[in-house]
A and B are shown apart, each in its own frame.
Chain A
């Protein structure tokens, strides 16, 4: 599978199994700060195969995009009818051009800035998934991954960067899949028997792992995997 990367900021893969109201509710519930990105980056909204009505698009613009001041640079959709509708409203339906390519174009035009631009570190970006990943589903990316749901047993994520699974971590995660070691795995509920960090393969046993079924952070420190329980959330009221 070819690595799917975003070089322009964040790509939000919107769940198809929610109705329009539930989708708007989900996006509205995310704090505005989450959408804040550096100035040269933006958000691509990926509706997958969802059929988008004009009402949904208008509501998205009014209640989410303008309300939360999100810089949406692409409205991706596999449904041809919806794509036509989005295009007729002047919205871009193409995957944004990688930031790297844009930089190279600028290099050609302004030679004196060449050195400065080439020194900028390439950042593959976050991939945000608003679904649980089910058995048999696999995500592979050079960047970081946030799963706003569970990673079920039999599902798999390979990321060049770090991985956050907000729900239960039952499946396989491989952070630093392309060799990076400055990575971490964070899980809302750690329940996986195996975890992969860079070139390390670690096993976890429910009886001997103290963080089992708890919110946990796993990092690689001096080449050794370290798991820490998230204790400071215990007294935090989110209500």
Chain B
């Protein structure tokens, strides 16, 4: 019998994520571009189903003190400029960093060139970092804040709004046949 160490369970759970990414067909160029061109919302359904489910469970863990939050800091300038830059690149490659490896695993060889590009992009950012740090990264630095803190609301109120909005989006997408 295998010993259920933390590392073992963690590895097993990520094994599942790997397979479900592929089963949901979300690693494909046609699916990713289909979403960005507003023609096929498969990845949007996958992505927000995962987020909403995770949100509820993780909030329970946080409130019970079982898991410690790890909030990525808000740097408004870098978040917006970086996010939009990512969008430009995404429209060209048609994969995101996580799914590009899944696509390669399915035999999509164009993802290999995309992966090399990503490694080059990481190296380029490391070169640019000293100047970015003193400029863009200083614009709108808010620290590790959460939406409940911003709005002065209870976690569950924010979650209820997300869940209601998400379910509304799903119903609308199904009605539209996307």
A and B part of one assembly? no
B-to-A contact residues, CB < 8 Å? none
